[in-house]
Structure 1
């Protein structure tokens, strides 16, 4: 799996969306029938934690699915089965999910997604109907599930047809706020794009997806959302590290949502295959549905589309690097060259944008191709300017001074050389008073103690204190609160995910639920999280953890 496939749904998260195939919430008697918010909607105090599974379940009879718009917009592959094959001249293939073999268990569900996005009481997740709908065992009425055809590059090389090898799109739901979300099952069985795979996901990868997407949302990063995680006893064979050590694991399915699942690879496969009329049709559709600021009759509409994607990609990568995220949270063990390492995220995105420009080449006149190259040249500057603003906020800096960039770079270099923890270094800088900075009193502040071992730390600290003193009418409390709002205390670390996975594989989902709750309030100190050690040094056994592409 190409770990840096930038999805269009993330790039246009702030845009308004029009339904493609709508999962409608019907009223009684009706027979036919992107806004980011990092603040949790739950009214529960963050320092308390109680299980949410204590209400009676309701039914799902009012949901209906319509995918008419998509099916009418594009040629659909109706090859007649989920067997792996090369698919041409289409955007989607009809593909039916393969039900997980029972018994089925609910491992996790997002109260916010269920209630604020899907307009359902979270108690509905306790019903047998929900287990079936959320695992592929039953389709919403009128459903025509689809698997998306796309291509892409892996580790810098064209990999040809990829596609939804273990995912099925069910349709889209328009909620009471007018937001449109496309529902998709991940791990729901073979499709025409499964290649040699079995179409399944296992518990470890599904737990990471569920927690990871939700954690990113509450950190303020545009992302897909996870509604639920269903696990089964179905045996799934996996060679986790591709070393010949095949083990039996258990199948799982995540019900996830996004404003759109179109991506750069959706365009690449058509361009590479010479399906230019279909490429033009897909571009026109995507622009009309997801880029309302671009007029459909604008002769430069494809160029305007590319400019928007370049700009939003730069902002997206800057945002997630500002919270210490690497795509996949930890580097893939098969990435021997570090192509997707934490320091290479912006470069990998640039590579994607170069490939997007190539994919658009057949529909851009010569002059516009040249203009596209000029647009791409601006990516680095956009990224650096956005990153600069974000890291200034992380350090509590107001206004603009000439040496601010040097102050930030100086700190990051020391952190790298002392192996200081990214998250906790910034968080602990948010929590210390100016007097503590003056006295270098970092007792029990383990990340700052690590940083202070650098021989140039006193020099940096002096520069930082003087910079803060030049901010008029800015007291300690104001600065600390600003910084705490920018610097999370809790992020999904690999060891935390692994601890939850180990329990989940034994049908103990308590830590999955606990982590989901904690990560819904990442900027607020929580007693239960402190007791769990989520803001402490990682345990020694965490150094031995490895994560593969399939994880």
Structure 2
């Protein structure tokens, strides 16, 4: 049981989720089916909590000072060894569709929310520990997390924020001083690895699955309570009542999801596990497991070893999967509607919003004042070329801003190719595409500097490539956390050229093509 402190840290908590929604009457530790929205559970203390890294920006936003973060008390709280006054830890109950199949009750199996902090600006932030021990939803797992997966979640949460992608955030990464057994690729070769706990932060961690579970059980009362609560707390700007209000809310969820997915596609991010229990009701990227950035442009790539045969969650299919997931949410919410037409309208809103955002991506990535219909074909032709010739997405689009429309030379992109033979074979086709692109540039009245600035604001110089994260993990496993802090600092300014840090912008090296952690990862990664 965690101990409560008289803290140096003194945030304000207003725990609406546990106050306003029904909780599990059983407070015991056992794994069980739960008919309520949440279960009371304390984090399990660890042997030797030590702060390894933290996000200074997120700490300040929450009201924590640099001195707070440097204190042992901070490490104890965000390892799960102590609670601050006002914290009421719980694990949320939800279900979900996993890889297209209904999985029943899932819930927070290794995530424990400490409470809802309200900062001086009036912002509400849910503080959640991942890897903090067993909950009633842990099933056959141990409730813990290893250092490598915790580093990946910590870094990616912050990297995505600085890329401008809607995301949950990360406050801290704490080492536990304990070892955790993991079979990284589920191949019968488990190893003992250092443990860690991440404190992740979001206005809400409610997922599509929170609504799916009561609907699957025919519990309309709890489903309605959850919807009313989510609108009241997380969508206070909406007005109205009854089914009209619910329709507005669902349409907003669809819009936010579309915007998030469009950002993923813009920067080349692949989530890897787009199950409905990993879909945020606020349209935030949530649950960083076997994610990745595509190196060579490949719409068929997935970073998830579990999905390597089906490739359901491959890069190019993410917009369609999000639509399918929203359809499952709509199915759950249909219990509250007399007519499904408003839900169908919401799904159409997703398609419209995503289409508009995708066109905007095309315009910004290519440096266009507007995206004409023919520009869709121009972008598709480029993507086909990048796929066939094995070209690095991030490097190519970043260099495209430097192209001289009066002398469009393929040599500008030589470093973006992964295969010299494919580069040579693709040279005539690339030259022809660049000529088409240069002609398009000359058709618009946009100063060259403005075009470059527009493109460089949409096409990052730095992304959190898997091999970069793995290098930082390797160092940290040996006791050197400097690779994590340096990588975090680089990712704070992903659109800026950072002299001296060119190595972080390099394409994937050959040694990383098939190395564990540098290409595909498992759900335990």
1:462 maps to 2:435 = yes
- Residues in 2 aligned to 1:176 and 1:185: alpha-carbon distance in whole angstroms: 22
**Aligned counterpart, 1:309:** 253
SS of 1:184's equivalent in the other structure is strand
Question: Does residue 125 of structure 2 align to residue 181 of structure 1?
Answer: yes
Contact 1:414 1:451 in 2 (8 A): no
Q: 2:477 aligned with 1:505, yes or no?
A: yes
SS of the aligned residue for 1:253 comes to strand
Structure 1, unmatched stretches of 5+, are 1-30, 32-58
Residues 1:547 and 2:514 are matched in the alignment: no
The reply on whether 1:60 has 2:8 as its aligned counterpart is: yes
| Displacement after TM superposition at 1:540 (Å) | 1.6
Partner of 2:202: 258
Tell me whether 1:71 sits opposite 2:23 in the alignment.
no
Matched, 1:514 2:486: yes
Alignment of 1:5-404 (within 5 A): 60-67=8-15, 69-88=16-35, 90-102=36-48, 104-115=49-60, 117-327=61-271, 328-329=291-292, 331-335=303-307, 336-365=309-338, 367=339, 369-404=340-375
Once residues 112 and 262 of structure 1 are traced to their aligned partners in structure 2, the CA distance between those partners, rounded to angstroms, is: 24
Is residue 382 of structure 2 the alignment partner of residue 408 of structure 1?
no
Change (3 A) 1:233 1:72: closer
Aligned equivalent of 2:451? 479
**Counterparts of 1:86 and 1:514 in 2: how far apart (Å)?**
43
| Distance in 2, Cα, partners of 1:499 & 1:543 | 14
Task: Give yes or no for contact 2:211–2:332 (8 Å, CA) kept in 1.
Answer: yes
Q: Which deviations, in whole Å up to 9, do the C-alpha atoms of 1:47-105 show, x marking residues without a partner? A: xxxxxxxxxxxx734235442x33331221131222211111x1110000001221x22
- Higher mean C-alpha displacement, 396-405 vs 443-452: 443-452
CA distance in 2, matches of 1:174, 1:201: 27
What's the secondary structure of 2:27's corresponding residue? Answer: coil
Distance in structure 1 (CA, Å) of the matches to 2:109 and 2:367: 45
Cα displacement (A) at 1:160: 0.7
Cα pair 1:107 1:504 within 8 Å, conserved: no
Query: Quick one: structure 1 residues 436 and 233, their matched pair in 2 at CA, closer, same or farther if it must change by over 3 Å?
Result: farther
SS of residue matched to 2:96: strand
How far 1:441 moved relative to its partner?
4.3
Residues 434-473 of structure 1 correspond to what in structure 2 (within 5 A)?
Answer: 434-437=405-408, 439-442=409-412, 445-447=415-417, 453-454=425-426, 455-472=428-445
- Cα contact 1:181–1:260 (8 A) shared by 2: yes
Q: Is the 8 A contact 1:185 1:253 kept in 2?
A: yes
1:429 partnered with 2:400: yes
TM-score between both structures, scaled by the size of structure 1: 0.84
1:149-169 alpha-carbon deviations (Å, 9 max, x no partner) = 000011100111111111111
Measure, in 1, the Cα distance between the counterparts of 2:407 and 2:29.
63
Structure 1 position 275, deviation (Å): 1.2
- Using the TM superposition, give the Cα deviation of residue 381 of structure 1 relative to its aligned residue in structure 2, in angstroms: 3.7
Higher relative contact order (CA 8 A, sep 6+): 1
> Contact between 1:118 and 1:175, CA under 8 Å: does it hold in 2?
yes
- SS across alignment from 2:237: coil
How many Å separate the matches in 2 of 1:123 and 1:322?
A: 38
| Counterpart position of 1:36 | none
Residue 176 (structure 1) shift: 2.4
- Counterpart of 1:534 (choices 494, 504, 515) is 504
CA distance in structure 1 between the aligned counterparts of 2:467 and 2:19, rounded to whole angstroms: 47
Structure 2: segments with no counterpart, 5+ residues = 1-5, 272-290, 293-301
Cα distance between partner residues in 2 of 1:443 and 1:318: 25
The alignment partner of 2:401 has SS state of: helix
Match in the other structure for 2:297 = none
User: In 2 relative to 1, CA 478–295 (structure 1 residues): closer, same or farther, beyond 3 Å?
Assistant: closer
- Distance in 1 of aligned mates of 2:120 and 2:103: 41
